[in-house]
Amino acid sequence: MAIILATVITTNIVNNRTLVNANYSTTTDNANSNMVADYIKKGITIGGITGTLESLNTFDATATAEDIIWGKTGYVKGEKITGTKIVTIAHARDAQKTFETNTVLTDDYGNNVKVPAGFKIAEDSPTVVTDGIVIEDVDAGNEYTKGSQFVWVPVGDVITNKNESTIHIILGRHTFASNGNKTLIQSAENWSDTSSKVAINTYYKELANSNKGNKAAKNLEGFVTKALTSGGYYIGRYEAGDATATKSERTSSSSDTNPLVFIQEFSGDTDYSRQNRLQSSLAKCGEATDGTNNDIRCNIYDMAGNTQEWSTETSSNSPYYCVARGGNYNITDYYTSSHDNNRTNSNSEGTSFRPILYL
């Protein structure tokens, strides 16, 4: 019986295809293929293509969105996540985040700003301290206080540019000359000194506590301590008066001397402390009666006119113990740093107050 031996030859045929440098050369057979070395794991060869992809196993990662800077991205457990951590004023303004705890943020130059719980950085806030950082009350339950805005007044060394030039702002009381030059009368370090040397004149002093029926004055120790520790405090962007008043009706004056120093240092208006607006109460918010935009500096509205504001100072001029400071919309003699005194039981349509907030 004849034995026939059959030889089977298996041939791998690559039709119209060549390999160049371990990659396909595109021809009719692979023209629609998306397979490239970058898509194949490193060390694996498929169809003549040796992979170069190096993958990182992220399944043991523990980072969360709150651990990554706002707007930056990363990969955790195989998924891409976008960071939500807020560290700068710019981040907070863009994110419109309401802070659940008191949080320290930095501006574009590295200055610190302490934002209280329940507040956010206002949408129209700048991102540098020298322009006036604005915060807005988000969580207040009262319909009249929700949306209230405050401006950060820095204390101590303030970085004014990226070259780290600084200006030192002293927390204290000042007098202002006719050319706007300031003179320190009482610094925060001697806030409790009630001797005659800290009186602006015969009458006006910033006392440690209320006295002589001055119900408006408060113990200043808490404010001074916290303002120095935090590197600043907040002053109302607008004066506070009738809770039902419109935004334009709440523009007014303020003469707290530290905000005046802040304004004169960084607004370019070195004579602001001696200005008088004599504005109509019907003027639009941000406008003087002549249509100029002169009643706002460093995002603080109208500290030079409209209404005087009660202060924590007291007067020795019996029985006019309460002290109001600032301009007045109907009295031309008053300017931003003016002082006046009133009876404890007096009232005036030209007098209001501007709240402060410290942490």
Give the pair of three-digit tokens for residue 86: 């807020």
Mapped onto helix, strand or coil, the DSSP state of residue 253 is coil
Helix, strand, coil % over all residues of the chain, rounded to 5: 15, 25, 60
pLDDT 10s digits, 135-149: 999 976 666 667 889
Burial of 315 (0-12, 13-18, 19+ CB in 10 A): buried
pLDDT in tens, 69-115: 777 787 787 788 777 778 899 999 999 999 999 999 999 999 999 99
pLDDT, residue 354, reads 85
H helix intervals, the chain: 89-95, 221-230, 257-266
Token reading at 259: 């905000």
pTM for the full predicted model: 0.73
pLDDT digit string, tens, across residues 167-209:
999 998 888 888 889 888 888 887 766 665 566 666 777 655 5
Average of pLDDT values for 288-314? Answer: 71
Q: Which long-range contacts (CB under 8 A, 24 or more apart) does 119-125 make?
A: 119/150, 120/92, 120/96, 121/89, 121/92, 121/93, 121/96, 122/93, 122/149, 123/93, 123/96, 125/89, 125/93, 125/299
Reported as a single tens digit per residue, the pLDDT across 237-258 is 987 754 344 444 443 333 346 8
Count the neighbouring beta carbons within 10 Å of the beta carbon of residue 32: 7
Nearest to 260 by CA among 294, 229, 304: 304
Mean pLDDT of 201-228: 68
Question: What is the spatial distance between Cα 286 and Cα 292, in angstroms, rounded to a whole number?
Answer: 8
| Of 85 and 118, more confident | 118
Handedness of CA 232, 238, 244, 247 (dihedral sign): negative
Share above pLDDT 70 across residues of the chain, in percent, rounded to a whole number: 69
Token pair 């969105």: residue: 65
CA distances from 353 to 236, 239, 253 (A): 9, 6, 9
Whose CA is closest to 129, among 146, 112, 145, 147?
Answer: 112
Q: Are 342 and 350 in contact (CB under 8 A)?
A: no
* Residue 293 confidence (pLDDT): 52
Q: Which two tokens stand for residue 122?
A: 């206002």
